[in-house]
Amino acid sequence: MKAVLNLACLFLGLTALACPGFGADAPSLKPPPGAKVAIVMFEDMECPSCALHYPEVEEAGRSHHVPVLLRDFPLGPSHPWSFDAAVWARFFDTKSDALGHDFRAYIFKNQPLINPGNLRQFVQKFADDNHVPLPFAYDPEGKLKAKVQADHDLGMSLGLRETPTVFVVSNVESKKVETLDQDHLSQIIEDVQKNAPATPAPAKAVAKKKAASKQ
């Protein structure tokens, strides 16, 4: 049954990438402060298509010097451990963004071996390998779960139904990546970079420049 569900996820994910239209206008997606352009990837950590394309998206971010913003979009009951894995990813995000990204890559790599009963064992191994102690209550106030849910709600508001769904965004436009191959993704990144406005100077720098001009 699990194999059937995973194949279904792969089919739906590829269908979403090939189907233009829905979710294409995403004005609520913006690059982080200081960045002109960013890649936004909505992913489910139990989705085989996400595991396949995650390294490609990360490499595209590195090669074009743009940040990759990961948004959690667990697909629900058909993927019984994906929500918990996303919460754990948020826990490692609190240590560093790099560690959070590394955890996702680790889970994607080991995805076929993971089930609801042994997820914690894989989390523990990753934590041990990276010298991160795991607290007994890693989300006592539910703040990490709330972040995962907020990402999911955002995805739903954009009309998403499958994963992975990838956007390249600036402060003036958002383009959905219809086909996740390296050449197509690179071309979209370059197109958005050409159209992106210059990054505003920090407020302090602007103030100093104005003060100097008055002297």
In this structure, the strands spanning 174-176 and 38-43 are unpaired
In this structure, the strands spanning 68-72 and 38-43 are parallel
Count how many Cα atoms sit within 13 Å of the Cα of residue 41 in the half-sphere of its side chain: 28
192, two tokens:
């958005």
Residue % of the chain over a pLDDT of 70: 80
- pLDDT value of residue 170: 96
- pLDDT value of residue 76: 87
Query: Residue 63: pLDDT above 60?
Result: yes
- pLDDT value of residue 28: 79
Q: How many residues make up the chain in this entry?
A: 215
- List the single range of 83-87, 125-129, 202-206 with lowest mean pLDDT: 202-206
- pLDDT value of residue 21: 30
Q: Give the pLDDT confidence of 64-80 residue by residue, as tens digits.
A: 999 999 999 999 899 99
Q: Order of strands across the sheet with 38-43?
A: 68-72, 38-43, 165-169, 174-176
85, two tokens:
């894995």
Mean pLDDT of 190-199: 90
